[in-house]
Chain A
Amino acid sequence: MSAPTFTAIADHALLVEFATEISDDASQQVVALDGELSADPPTGMLEAVPAFVNLLIAFDPLLTDHDELTAAVHRRLSAEVRHEPHPTSHVVPVCYDPSFAFDLEAVAAATGLSTEAVIAEHLAGDYRVAMYGFAPGYAYMAGVPSSIQLPRKPAAVRGIPAGSLIIAGPQCLITTLDMPTGWSVIGRSATQVLRPHHVRPFRFDIGDRVTFERVDRPTFDRLATEANNHERQSGFGE
């Protein structure tokens, strides 16, 4: 385990970096530090933002500074009693129907696999929620098998519906908004990662495990109807 580097950001944040390239090891160190900080927040810490290789600590400059927080992080990293993470496992149904999987053929062509083999590879992956980013509820999951890892497209494609399952490199996510994306769209899920008015608006915690389960189009349609009804009903509660 390597010692992290610390970088001051303006007057109100500290970046703690464990590696410069994405790796499981770096991600696990980030998740571990996030757990320590949440169990025992240093004086003046406002929030911690975990990412693939680093973690940002936002702080109140009236209560602490970069040097004090650096020392506080060192103490937590060297402490003997570590707070073990307790990740939750989620099973997420996905429909790979061609009407949803706009890029499945292209991924198959680029990887030399059949579309069925691409689906099988995706289902075989063991996914871990490494970070949220970009927009509310965009949970970045690491764990796409190397056999179907592809770079982003040169340009983003507009109008990709919320709920799309998209992949790029080792990353996979389920979109929560209708937004342009340069990632490959290989399916759709009725599982809403962002449920704005739910008591738990964000379905996953950082570090959670995710496996995908294939469903057909009629099953997807039923799950989507149920999910929308739930969200609407919880919205009434406000």
Chain B
Amino acid sequence: MSSAKFRVIQVGPHVSFQDRGRFGAMRFGVPASGPMDRLAHAAANVVIGNDASATAVEVSLGGLTLECVEGTVTVAVVGGDFAVSHRSGSIDSWAVLHVRPGDRLSIRSGDAGSWTYLAFAGALDAPVWLGHTATHSQSGLGGGQLQPGQVLVVAEPRDERRRVGPVPRPPLGPVSPRVVMGPQDHRFEPAAIAAFETATYSFTSAFDRMGVRLDGPRLGLSGALSIPSEPIVRGSIQVAGDGVPTLLFADHQTTGGYPKIATVVSADLDTLAQRRPGDTVQFDPISPAQAIASARHRAGEVERYLTRLAGSGRSLAHRLMNEDLIGSHQPFDGD
């Protein structure tokens, strides 16, 4: 059976295998994990003809350099604004490339974004746990973090050279992430609620796949500092006794005893996870009914976007030109 192989030359921290996520095991203490930016992960896969949920490599600001040691395969780098270098030159993420033996592919933090996804046309081999390769960072269960010297194997690699070129970006959501207040907003002082709803917070460097500590006005609690441990979801904003809010992401603990002032709606989590330390954020409270509407609206946008990417097929470049989605298309691969 044919395969393509890549040796890991350099890898930063928090670079891991991720499929769509391991849903349904929160009752056993296992969060879904999966990509920090789920839409970018899905886009990286479908634009090269993979299933949207396939295993890809999530690359952090620490970067990744691979060398192709065997086989040829088409790859996509999608998410954030990362810098990619390849024999065909230096380009931005949101690109499809074709890779052959001896090629080095280097992915570096570029102008913006915290996570980008490297997907391979084929089946990227990674350890499976509970049916998924999604890596849970604290335990290492699932596909795991990439290590220097490791060899990545892509089974049944495909030549999708016809798809080489830039990848159109999805429609943008609102600038301010929408939240539904609670479930413990009643445990906070009124001044804290007002501060949370109006103040600007910034991402600190305490940012990983579990979550990010936010810097801004302290949020005072009106009563007991802790509640009986209760379930947490991705997007929960919990506040510890020191009044500092933490926004929880893909590898969130499944339960906790700190009150949660608000929860970010799922439609706005991908964009939020792409902020960098120092970037600011202001939250926009909406009602639960508006939150449901936001999810349904976003699902339609995402489906149309991914369908367009998947169908781009043989004439992607022409189609993009025809739809005026890109200004100037320059192929990255000469062969």
Q: What's the nearest-Cβ distance from chain A to residue B227, in Å?
A: 8
Number of A interface residues in the complex (CB < 8 A): 44
Q: What's the nearest-Cβ distance from chain A to residue B137, in Å?
A: 11
B139: CB under 8 A from chain A? yes
Whole-angstrom distance between the alpha carbons of A65 and B299 in the complex? 15
CB pair B231–A51 under 8 Å, yes or no, is yes
Whole-angstrom distance between the alpha carbons of A136 and B295 in the complex? 29
CB pair B29–A135 under 8 Å, yes or no, is yes
- Residues of B within 8 Å of A10, CB to CB, are 179-180, 233, 235, 263-266, 291
Classify the interface of chain A: helix, strand, loop or mixed: loop
Whole-angstrom distance between the alpha carbons of A50 and B26 in the complex? 9
Question: In which size bucket is the chain B interface?
Answer: 35 or more
Q: What's the nearest-Cβ distance from chain A to residue B55, in Å?
A: 16
Stretch at the interface among B45-53, B63-71, B128-136, B201-209: B128-136
Assuming A11-B266, A11-B292, A177-B138, is B231 touching A54 (CB within 8 A)? yes
CB pair A58–B26 under 8 Å, yes or no, is yes
Pick from A47, A66, A197: contact of B288, CB under 8 Å: A66
Q: Which residue on A lies nearest to B26, using beta carbons? A: A49
- Residues of B within 8 Å of A148, CB to CB, are none
Whole-angstrom distance between the alpha carbons of A135 and B136 in the complex? 10
Contact pattern, B 286-299, Cβ under 8 Å of A = 1, otherwise 0: 00110110111001
- Residues of A within 8 Å of B255, CB to CB, are 49, 51, 131-134
Pick from A7, A48, A58: contact of B182, CB under 8 Å: A7
Contact pattern, B 190-231, Cβ under 8 Å of A = 1, otherwise 0: 000000000000000000000000000000000000011111
**Using a CB–CB distance below 8 Å, which chain B residues touch chain A?**
23-30, 128-130, 136, 138-139, 141, 179-180, 182-183, 227-231, 233, 235-236, 253-256, 263-267, 288-289, 291-292, 294-296, 299
Q: Could you give 25 example pairs across A and B, Cβ below 8 Å?
A: A9-B180, A9-B182, A9-B233, A10-B291, A11-B266, A11-B267, A11-B292, A11-B295, A20-B228, A21-B228, A22-B228, A46-B24, A50-B27, A52-B230, A55-B231, A61-B266, A132-B29, A133-B231, A133-B253, A135-B29, A136-B136, A136-B139, A137-B29, A138-B29, A140-B229
